[in-house]
Amino acid sequence: MTETPIANRPRHIAIIMDGNGRWAQSRGLPRIEGHRRGVSTVRMISETATELGIEAVTLYCLSSENWKRPKQELDFLMHLLEQYLVEERRTIMDQGLRLKVIGRRDRLPNGVIAEMDKTLEMSKDNPGTQLVLAIDYGGRDELTKVARELAREVAEGSITESEICEASITERLYTAGLPEVDLMIRTGGDMRVSNFLLWQLSYAEFWVTETCWPEFSRENFLAAIAEFSVRQRRFGGLSVNE
């Protein structure tokens, strides 16, 4: 596939990594095998994003609603996450990736938090793609957090109600400092955002594929970027021809 020109590439790509369980069940395997297989796809995405010079990639790893899943599956997901944070350190450092984690921390196991913080510290000065893991993340929960912060600051007198604007909200989001999301990819075929980056996806282009995450390939990723590169982004205005 012809490489998309740098000027036409998205700066920030967000991905809903869906279909792990369905992929496994369709092959007579336990759901956890789909999650295990999905780790290799994460590695491919980070490698390809680095090659292309993508500034940031945000992966929806665990939503705030996923705690409703069976305990056995959740325990495995926590184990897999901790394992990833340890085993992928060499790859993260070799690729110059800068790890960032968004979402709540208070419900995560201590072991996961310890390995997370170690990897965050190791990679904080890396110059490459920011690899953002959304863990125990929910868009509504994030916006509620921001609303509470602003209400508290107004009550304390550090900001007035009239000073609250879009920038006030953006700079208090977990994603503060990251580029706007340009492209949102969803695997597994579902046509919804699933409480993911509700504020940040306001003007993102969507690309959905029936392919489940464990089988999502480099070719799929490049196809999504290529399609993004030819879309007209009006941001509420009109195109030149209109």
Q: Alpha carbon of 85 to those of 8, 92, 133: distances in Å?
A: 32, 9, 11
As given in the structure block, the two tokens for residue 184 are 């949102």
Annotated active-site residue in 66, 126, 195, 220: 66
Phi-psi region for residue 236, left (φ > 0), alpha (ψ -120 to 50) or beta?
Answer: left
213 among the known binding-site residues? Answer: no
- 220 given a catalytic annotation: no
202 among the known binding-site residues? Answer: no
195 among the known binding-site residues? Answer: no
Annotated active-site residue in 8, 18, 190, 195: 18
46 among the known binding-site residues? Answer: no
Cα–Cα distance measured from residue 26 to residue 213, given in angstroms and rounded to the nearest whole number: 13
192 among the known binding-site residues? Answer: yes
Hey, is 4 helix, strand or coil?
coil
199 among the known binding-site residues? Answer: no
19 among the known binding-site residues? Answer: yes
Hey, is 233 helix, strand or coil?
coil
35 among the known binding-site residues? Answer: yes
Residue 214, amino acid: P
- 75 given a catalytic annotation: no
Residue 85, amino acid: L
168 among the known binding-site residues? Answer: no
Please check whether residue 233 is in contact with residue 59, taking contact to mean a CB–CB distance below 8 angstroms. Answer: no
Question: With 0-12 CB in 10 A as exposed, 13-18 as middle and 19+ as buried, what is 181?
Answer: buried
136 among the known binding-site residues? Answer: no
Q: Alpha carbon of 89 to those of 4, 82, 165: distances in Å?
A: 29, 11, 39
Q: What are the backbone angles phi and psi of residue 56, rounded to the nearest 5°?
A: -150, 145
193 among the known binding-site residues? Answer: yes
Annotated binding site for substrate: 19-23, 31, 35, 63-65, 67, 69, 186, 192-194
Annotated binding site for Mg(2+): 18, 205
Annotated binding site: 18-23, 31, 35, 63-65, 67, 69, 186, 192-194, 205
Annotated catalytic residues are 18, 66
